[in-house]
Amino acid sequence: MKRSRQLLILFVFVSLISILSIGGCNNNSSDGQPIPEEIRAIFDKDLYDGSIWALRVVDLETGELIYNLRSDDNLFLGSVRKVFTIGEALEALGPDFMFRTPIHRQGSVNGEGVLEGDLILVAKGDLTMGGRRNPNETMAISNFDHNEANSLGNAVLTAPDPLWGYDSLAEQIAESGITEITGEIIVDDRLFEPFEFRGEFDVRPIFVNDDLVDVIINPTNPGESASVDHRPMSEAFGVDSNLITVAPGEEEEVELVPEFPSCIG
């Protein structure tokens, strides 16, 4: 069972490290066991022709070096860094962990279902808030995530409603007998101190749609207004467009103002 777990960790690591393609490949394992045929078969795929692979697998209980391949080389890690943080979280929380976002009320509810007070949502670090929930309760992930839309240019939106979790909470509140409130809806986001990432991502203990507004642009006929839509829909903001569809071969220009809205709501 222990060795099975080691191979699983290895496979996840090398499949992610494949994005580090910068030339040549070698299947030798220095000072460790030979790289298994199953792993070398992945290395040798035409898809990764010209790639460089690096990995290091150590038995955490004994310290034994299992596999070692170019582990001392300087490589650009990129998103492989996520393996360590997500791996630690998975180890600490377990595969069956579920985020639960409680809502409390301050005040009393009268006979007509009116809460004379406030509702307080306590953020617990749920990164998706149900916005990627498939009907079978798996998480929807596309090959080109909308977080990378501005850099990749060909992001694919997932099918689930990004507001599903919030709609579900609203339904549960209504089922509890509250149909109206006289106060405010307050979000308690004191779980951890917010911080900025890459100057464009504000990391907080609660998000709506991964802290993004998706703007979907499709062409119509040349000279006509382009089809522009956005999600999630909210009374807090809107998207106005004056884009015109150009003919094939003509230069296109799309400008978003402001490029990174600092606050919505």
In tens, the pLDDT along 144-169 reads: 889 888 777 778 899 999 999 999 99
In the chain, % of residues over pLDDT 90: 49
* 63 and 84 share one domain: yes
Q: 142 with 118, same domain?
A: yes
In a domain, 98, yes or no: no
Q: Which residues pair with 244 in a beta bridge?
A: 225
**Domain co-membership, 55 together with 108:** no
Q: For position 220, what pLDDT does the model report?
A: 94
Burial per residue of 27-59, b for 16 or more beta-carbon CB atoms within 10 angstroms, e otherwise: eebeebeebeeebeebbeeeeeeebbbbbbbbe
Has residue 110 been placed in a domain?
yes
Question: What pLDDT was estimated at residue 263?
Answer: 63
Inter-CA distances, 177 with 68, 110, 128, 173, Å: 60, 10, 27, 7
Q: Is residue 265 part of a domain?
A: no
pLDDT tens-digit profile of 103-132?
Answer: 999 999 999 999 999 999 999 999 899 999
Tell me how far the alpha carbon of residue 154 is from its chain's centroid. 16
Sign of CA dihedral 67, 72, 75, 76: positive
Same domain, 218 and 188: no
134 domain-assigned: yes
Residue 43 lies in a domain: yes
**Are 107 and 44 members of one domain?**
no
Domain-embedded: residue 181 = yes
Residues 198 and 107 occupy one common structural domain: yes
Structure tokens at 32: 């460790």
For residues 159 and 251, state if they share a domain: no
183 assigned to some structural domain: yes
- What's the first-to-final CA gap in the chain, in angstroms? 50
Last residue of a domain, one of 59, 93, 127: 93
d(CA 117, CA 189): 19
Q: What value does the mean pLDDT of the chain take? A: 84
Q: Which residue has the higher pLDDT, 27 or 253?
A: 253
Q: Quick one: pLDDT at residue 106?
A: 95
Same domain, 162 and 253: no
Q: Are residues 185 and 246 in the same domain?
A: no
Q: Are residues 169 and 122 in the same domain?
A: yes
Tens-place pLDDT, residues 225-251: 999 999 999 888 888 899 999 999 898
pLDDT-derived band of residue 22, with 50, 70 and 90 as boundaries? very low
When pLDDT is averaged across residues 175-202 and rounded to a whole number, the result is 90
- The last residue of one of the domains, among 93, 112, 129, is 93
Q: Domain containing 188: what range?
A: 103-211
Instruction: Please count the structural domains in the chain.
Output: 3
With respect to residue 132, please indicate whether it lies within any of the assigned structural domains: yes
**CB 69 within 8 Å of CB 29:** yes
Q: Which residue has the tokens 């919505």?
A: 264
